[in-house]
A and B are shown apart, each in its own frame.
Chain A
Amino acid sequence: MGASPSIELRGVEKEYRRDEFVVPVLQGLDLTVGEGEYLALMGPSGSGKTTLLNLVAGLDVATRGQVIVHGQDLGRLSESEITRWRADNVGFIFQTYNLIPVLTAAENVELPLLLTGLSRKRRRENVATALRVVGLEGREHHYPRQLSGGQEQRVAIARAIVTDPFLLVADEPTGDLDRNTADEILELLEQLNKEFEKTIVMVTHDPLAARRAGRVLHLDKGRLVDDVINEPHAPAAS
């Protein structure tokens, strides 16, 4: 898909310590993801897909190797720098939406904008735009508990895109949704990738969700075992 590399992983290894044991999670991973690519990460539990997602999103640091995202070697950034980098470059979509329950939809979407220094007026405009993109006009003042699961995930997607980051990371974005709602969310992600040229990295267990992505990586025991380019316009199965 995209020509210039947006994400590059060079010899990436990740280990966790559990008491005196060292648990390898990712082993010798090399990967290049192009700008505007839509990548699905699949694999059994414990295969390292979420760890890979966390590394790419700047939430975790590789034990060895380099993670270069948008030209930035994330391993070289201090904690405060990487926090700032995340705010500027990454939009997060979680399986359980992770909305703040005491804030309205609009206030949830506005959260990342509070780190930008935009005026209140501009923030409101951006929030309205993001909510319109995800099809939630008129729901600005609803609290998460007043929304359906699909609507909550839409709010989370609006929050992820409101700062116009180049990268969206989605961890099982449809894991908590019924099939129809999941398809709507996948439709929306596809739209964000195609119309707004967002690079998307999505972890999923759902083959139907993975089929929406342009490229599917299969991981097993921390290693890349398969790298499949999906046919363009692959039909969404129902």
Chain B
Amino acid sequence: MIPFKYNVRNLRVRWKTTLMTVLGTALLVASSCILFGLVEGLEHSLKVSGDPLDLIVLRQGATAETTGGFEGKKADELLTLGGILRDGDGPVGAKELLNIAVAERASGTYNNLIIRGVQPASRKLRPDFKIVAGRDLEPGKGECIVPRSVARLYKGAQIGGQLLFGEKEKYRVVGMFTAGGSQAESEVWADLKDVERNTGRDGSVSCVQLRASGPAEFDQLRKEIEDGAQFRLAAHPETKYFESQSDTSTFFKAAGTLIAILLTFGAMFAAANTMFSAVKSRTREIGTMRALGFSRGDVLMSFLGESVLLSLLGGGLGLLATIPMSLISIETMNSSTFASVNINFRFGPWVMAVAMLMTLVMGLFGGMLPALRAVRLEVISALREL
């Protein structure tokens, strides 16, 4: 086998070409990673790491919490059903009222924000919920808590500030929370009663979130809520509900995959170009090694190895370049609610695997044709090459 240091040193000697190819590959891998990291972040934001026994109850026919209002009386009655998990504070279930309001950003522009009126049990239904600064809101006092992204982006959203939505609706910010990167981290949370009062929607809720006490009760609760004459509501298992909300991410994922494939092809051509020139400039070396007794297979492996190494350098650099992106969150719009959603880039194993796959494909396929050209060289002609 031709020693690998031969390839490593050749890459070093041709450092300018190597650097150009590595940077090109790195950019392509980084672009794909960012795209997939965004998709993964979006998907993650739509998943609440809640209990599989959680149900979201909406008006029948409603596709989202923001369009699913029904009477508060029905909601109260619903929370008395037997199959709901109970703890020392009562049923683990909460009425919630969502309002989409226009808020002013610190930059002076405006955007839709979701204000979620919550009850104490709302926190239990989101196990990753945590107050990270300030304190939790006290019911009935016109207070709210905000996620970090909202505090950063919106005027008056810092602790001690006041969030204003139009003329009537205002909340004093008393704390900052996290919710495991879920969609809740794009919302302002206030007390249910305060939101009802501020929006003039007394006696109405957007949804009820609850947890069943067991799998059998889960099914029973769904049946009662959906078929019971007094309810006739839609009870969505939480996981399925959020799956249905992830159409946007499916689109991004499909587009991302297509773009990644195109970028991979681009990088393959770059790698092929570099390797073709490597083979051309080292024709006599190839002839010499073949004369010395190295087989065509040895030559093939050597040049493929060099191509893969080149791509791996680029891929590795591309991945490193994406690390700072994981600290960034971007604000986009939920296509169902038209409200602002904050997405953090997430570079999980899937994104890493895609990047590695892209890199290997680039190296192997980009290097294949040049390596085959090297393999096909006749020893005598190669030795004559200047």
Contact = CB atoms under 8 A, between A and B. Distances in A.
Nearest to B292: A112
A60 interface: yes
Given A107-B5, A114-B3, A54 B292 contact: no
B380 interface: yes
A86 interface: yes
Interface string B1-33: 111011001101100000000000000000000
Interface in B255-307: 284-285, 287-296
A146 interface: no
A69 B12 CA distance: 41
B354 interface: no
B102 interface: no
A221 to B, nearest CB: 20
A179 B5 CA distance: 36
Interface in A96-153: 98, 100-103, 107, 111-112, 114-115
Contacts of A83: 290, 293-295
Interface in A60-79: 60, 79
Interface in A171-204: none
Contact of A59 (B12, B13, B291): B291
Q: Give the size range of B's interface with the partner.
A: 20 to 34
Interface residues of A, number: 24
B3 A98 contact: no
B372 interface: no
B356 interface: no
A25 to B, nearest CB: 12
Contacts of A59: 291, 379-380, 383
A103 B6 contact: yes
A102 B10 contact: yes
Given A100-B285, A103-B9, A114-B1, A54 B380 contact: yes
Nearest to A169: B291
A115 B9 CA distance: 21
Contacts, number: 61
B13 A102 contact: yes
B383 A98 contact: yes
Contacts of B287: 98
Nearest to A97: B288
B6 A102 contact: yes
B294 A92 contact: no
A31 interface: no
A101 to B, nearest CB: 7
B228 to A, nearest CB: 79
Contact of A103 (B5, B290, B291, B295): B5
Contacts of A87: 292-294
Given A59-B291, A84-B293, A115-B293, A102 B9 contact: yes
Nearest to B1: A114
Nearest to A79: B296
Residue with the highest number of chain A CB atoms closer than 10 Å, among B10, B287, B383: B383
Nearest to B294: A115
A88 B10 CA distance: 27
A100 B13 contact: no
A114 B1 CA distance: 7
Contacts of A92: 288, 291-292
Given A59-B380, A102-B9, A103-B5, A111 B289 contact: yes
Nearest to A91: B292
A84 B287 CA distance: 15
A238 interface: no
B310 to A, nearest CB: 15
B380 A60 contact: yes
Contact of B292 (A80, A103, A107, A111): A111
Contacts of A80: 295
Contacts of B6: 100, 102-103
Contacts of B380: 54, 59-60
A98 B380 CA distance: 13
A87 B294 CA distance: 8
A98 B285 CA distance: 7
A103 B4 CA distance: 11
Contacts of B289: 100, 111
Interface of A: 54, 57, 59-60, 79-80, 83-84, 86-88, 92, 94, 98, 100-103, 107, 111-112, 114-115, 159
10 closest cross-chain pairs (CB), A and B: A87-B293, A102-B9, A98-B288, A115-B293, A86-B293, A112-B292, A83-B295, A92-B291, A59-B379, A102-B10
Given A59-B383, A100-B6, 14 more contacts: A54-B380, A59-B291, A83-B290, A86-B292, A98-B284, A102-B9, A102-B13, A103-B5, A107-B3, A111-B3, A112-B292, A115-B292, A115-B294, A159-B292
22 contacts: A57-B291, A59-B291, A59-B379, A59-B380, A80-B295, A83-B294, A87-B294, A88-B293, A92-B288, A98-B383, A100-B285, A101-B285, A102-B9, A102-B10, A102-B13, A107-B3, A107-B5, A111-B289, A114-B1, A114-B2, A114-B3, A115-B293
